[in-house]
Amino acid sequence: MRKLVVGNKEFILGEKTIIMGVLNVTPDSFSDGGKYYQMDDAIDRAIELERQGADIIDIGGESTRPGAKPITVDEEINRVIPVVSELVKILNVPISVDTYKSKVAKKALNLGASMINDITGLTADKKLANVVADFDVPICLMHMKGKPYFMQKNPVYEDLIKEISDFFVKKTKYAESQGIDKENIIIDPGIGFGKRTGNGIEDNCTIIKHLNEFKKLSYPILIGASRKTFIGNISGYKKPLDPEDRLEGSLGAASISVINGADILRVHDVKETRRCIDIVDCIIR
């Protein structure tokens, strides 16, 4: 079976689902913005995520919720790097950094981070590929239609699955051409990032249903459906559910994602997801 090495951890793909815990050190993320913005709160939360069963912790310093505006490199460095600096000393699980900026990635990797999670799929900063190649670490390439500020302003697809697949073929070839080892590439179809939801069209559900199409590309698949808008739209009885009320729907999406081929789940609710997916893994694997 294929292996994925992240820092000092070796994961056997297909053996057990990898749980990636979300740590947003931002004031404005869609679900938990501001809760872990302060240094002490971020450190405590990371320790809690590890204790709850996270295999990797993904630290993000820039909100990418629909309508979010970008922040400067310096601001992102000020938010992320002090937290990474402390956590590499105390965590036993590897740290991923959710960034598309090469300067942020380089500083974090120099400190001991072990993975980069790029929502732009090596589109925004051409230097990022070289940084990842130089450090020989995994990178997750995500598909996003547009940019966070306007990505939900009427996205259009002629063939959703084909468009995402074509994107991955192009970007994985580019990544490898820049020296990134194929064994270090992960793909993420970008649940909630420029995908239609509501009014009878649920692109995110279509993606999860057809994960086998992306599996054909032979890269590990990461799914980040946790607490996303489509869950609130579908699960709400009389009105859409707020992010904090989307746990059950998130677990449903996570379970079907794993059944259909997801290798990594990026989640806010680590304890609940770990307990749920341990059962799914036992049944299907």
- Residue pair 87/54 in contact (Cβ under 8 Å)? The answer is no
Give catalytic residue positions: 228, 266
| Residues facing residue 22 across a β-bridge | 58
The answer to whether 240 touches 232, Cβ cutoff 8 Å, is yes
For residue 264, give the DSSP letter. E
d(CA 85, CA 39): 11
Q: Which among 190, 204, 70, 213 is positioned nearest to 142, based on CA atoms? A: 190
Beta carbons within 8 Å of 274's beta carbon, 6+ residues apart: 19, 52, 53, 54
From CA 140, how far away is CA 100, in angstroms rounded?
10
Strand 185-188 and strand 139-142: the pairing is parallel
In terms of DSSP H, where are the helices of 12-157?
39-52, 73-90, 102-111, 127-135
